[in-house]
Amino acid sequence: MLPIIVEMRVPEGWRKTVLRFASELRELFGDRLLRVIALPNPEDGVYESNVLVVLEGADQEDVMRVMEVAVSVDERLNPLVVDEEDEEAVRMFLRAGGRDVKVTEG
C-alpha cells in the first residue's frame, strides 16, 4: 500500500486523478520517481503546469513517457517534469499551494 498525502480541500475528481497519476508513475519509474507535487486545483498553474514530477536523471524520453501517462489518466493533467537538481521548480510549486503526493512504498 502506498502512503499518500493530498490536500483535502481540492475538488474530489482532481484528488482521484492525481492519486492515479502518481501511482502509475511509480509503477513506470520505480525509485527514480522522487516527488510528485500537485497544485490544489487543476485550473491552477506554475510554469503553465498543475503537477510537478521530479525524476532522478530526467531526460526528454522520460518527459514523453510522463506526458503519455498524463494523457491516459486525465486531460486536465499538465505536468512539468524536472530532475532532482531543479530546486527552484519545487519551491515555486510549494509556494503556489502545491502538496506532495507521497508514493513511496511503505
Query: Distance (Å, rounded) from C-alpha 83 to C-alpha 52?
Result: 10
| Structural domain boundaries in the chain | 12-100
Write out the H or E segment, with its range, that includes residue 93: helix 87-95
pTM for the full predicted model: 0.87
**What CATH class is the domain 12-100?**
alpha beta
The pLDDT profile of the chain, 106 residues, written as one tens digit per residue, is 344 444 456 677 998 999 999 999 999 999 999 999 999 999 999 999 999 999 999 999 999 999 999 999 999 999 999 999 999 999 999 999 999 987 655 4
Query: Distance (Å, rounded) from C-alpha 94 to C-alpha 73?
Result: 23
